[in-house]
Structure 1
Amino acid sequence: KKQGDLASGSLVHGFMYMWLYYLRGFNNFMLDIGSREPKLNHLIEMVLDYNLKLVNKWIEIGAEAIYFGDDLGTQKSLPISPADWRKYLKPCYRKIFGVCQDAGVYVYLHSDGHILEIIDDLIECGVNIINPQIRANGFEELAKFKGKICIHLDLDRQLFPFARPEEIKSHIQEAVNKLNSQEGGLMLHAECEPDVPLENIEAICQVLE
């Protein structure tokens, strides 16, 4: 903070939705939702209360932004219907992010997978910055949200090992052209694993500059 950066905190990755299926097992959790298992509500409340305590502690010690990560989608869809997500999970995010909003704390949310159907809901819940996967959501669809929220785009890391430098430059330029907005803002994230050729890493750096 003394260096001009926001004082930030974070919760463990998978803080809400993923924790529920860690505790129940993924198949059991899906069955709980599908069968409207009454005990599921109690489990959700337990995880929610724990997260609220952590968020309040971060705010108490001076956090100005809090990072949340919860992989809400698969590569092609949400694993549960948007209606079920709104029934069971949206109230949790609204409460957690609402505490941040009330304290003037920025909310950063990372999610792997396809989440297009619920991005407006996440904005409504109080997300300021969202970190989606481009491959699972697509430029054209994500462009519908520019200006509504700051997009911190996870560039296509599956493209980096195999594409030509020119293709990578085109990919990044397309991200800027389609998603940049003064109202919301755009940040780009390029994760390069050991199998990415050096010439491709150089291309990424050149176009980002």
Structure 2
Amino acid sequence: MNLRENAMAIYNGEQPDFYGDLMAAVEFIIDPLLERDALIPQDGKEYIDSWGTVKVFLPGAPGAHPHLTPENIVIKDIEKWEEQISVPSIDAFDYSKVRDQAASIDREKKLVCFFCPVGIFERSHFLMGMENALINYLEYPDEMKAMLRVITDHKIAYIKKIGEECHPDIIFYHDDWGTKQNLFLPPSVWREIIKPLQKEIADVIHECGMIYMHHADCICQPIVEDMVEIGVDIWQGVIAQNDIVEIQRITEGKLAMVGGIDAPKIDIENITEEEIRAEVRRAIDTYCPAGRFYPSIPNAVCYREWNNSIVMDELESYGRKFAEEHPIQKTQSI
């Protein structure tokens, strides 16, 4: 099997040649909006994205982040959000690069993946700050619903546009809904405000003939059944702080998952090679028997180069050994 075939075998609950990270089988298409907003100089200076959010890219940081103060937040008064928000146009970009990139990828060997960052929850706190956002979700739910309606409509229009321009195999949608301890919002609030809009986004992804992969490297266990109901096909970024085995049980194989290796446990100094390899093997042994699981570092890589090289080597060798020694007797496809 080539990388695409192997990845799709796992996705379909069929016998793969090896168990490994799905991301090895994808080729990313550059997102014009991301290119405009996130690919800023790593100089620590302030830059303003297309929604008006101030961002900085600190030297040595893994990426650009919002740099919000009471003075520079976009939404200063949630009751007047309509006067303050400015929605960027999706027609302002040159999509020729997107089309050319997609055309250059051999779809028989790789999956074409479109990275769609800053989901509707993240956009809400990018616009007003995390503390304000969390308070407003509880105290001003109607205003938040109305504002998120506008943000969702923009997301839907953009996904449709990307689908028309280059038809990716996967939409890699990014929206962290929690921390390593819990969800940001109470599940009841998430279900009332986020879930219905997220269902619309999922429906559009599927109507365009694409797989919906949702990145959230955080606790999502309280809402995993909702994720299945919404139509999330793949949850990427599954951290070991979730009870992954229990999630596999309650979702009944309907949610493919990527992650499971406890990166903070092994992406440290003064750790032995065997300790790193043991964590990779633990993840494969524990989560792959249920099927539809891609063992990986939830946030893609260890930041320490040596540690990461050991993880990748063990995934390659033990992931293949496990597949050979644990053949799937019958299809687990959903």
Instruction: Place the TM-score, normalised by the shorter chain, in its bin.
Output: 0.7 to 0.9
Contact 1:157 1:192 (8 Å CA) reproduced: yes
Shift of 1:53: 0.5
Contact 1:70 1:110 (8 Å CA) reproduced: yes
Which structure would you say has the larger Rg? 2
Q: Which residue of 1 aligns with 2:261?
A: 155
- Correspondence list, 1:182-193, <5 A: 184-190=291-297, 191-193=301-303
- Correspondence list, 1:56-67, <5 A: 56-61=160-165, 62-67=167-172
Distance 2:199 2:156 in 1: 11
Q: Which of 215, 218, 232 does residue 110 from structure 1 map onto? A: 215
| Alignment partner of 1:172 is 2:280 | yes
Shift of 1:132: 2.8
TM-score normalised according to structure 2 size: 0.56
Distance 1:23 1:123 in 2: 28
Moved more, 125-134 or 156-165: 156-165
Contact 1:14 1:70 (8 Å CA) reproduced: yes
Cα deviation 1:139-174 (Å, max 9, x = unaligned) = 444443462221111522212224432222222222
Unaligned 5+ residue runs, structure 2? Answer: 1-104, 318-334
Q: Which residue of 1 aligns with 2:190?
A: 85
SS of equivalent to 2:206: helix
Cα deviation 1:26-74 (Å, max 9, x = unaligned) = 1111111211343212211110010001111122122221110111111
SS of equivalent to 1:68: strand
- Correspondence list, 1:1-209, <5 A: 1-4=105-108, 5-11=110-116, 13-61=117-165, 62-144=167-249, 145=251, 147-153=253-259, 155-160=261-266, 161-162=268-269, 163-181=271-289, 184-190=291-297, 191-194=301-304, 198=306, 201-202=309-310, 204-209=312-317
Contact 1:133 1:156 (8 Å CA) reproduced: no
SS of equivalent to 1:188: strand
Contact 2:221 2:247 (8 Å CA) reproduced: yes
Contact 1:134 1:154 (8 Å CA) reproduced: yes
The code of the aligned residue for 1:152 comes to V
Query: CA RMSD, aligned part only?
Result: 2.2
> Per chain length, whose mean CA-contact separation is higher, i.e. which structure has more relative contact order (CA < 8 Å, sep 6+)?
2
Cα deviation 1:149-205 (Å, max 9, x = unaligned) = 2111152221222443222222222222222157x52212231213x5x37733651
SS of equivalent to 1:89: helix
Identity of aligned residues (%): 20
SS of equivalent to 1:77: coil
Contact 1:146 1:181 (8 Å CA) reproduced: no
Contact 2:260 2:283 (8 Å CA) reproduced: no
The code of the aligned residue for 2:139 comes to S
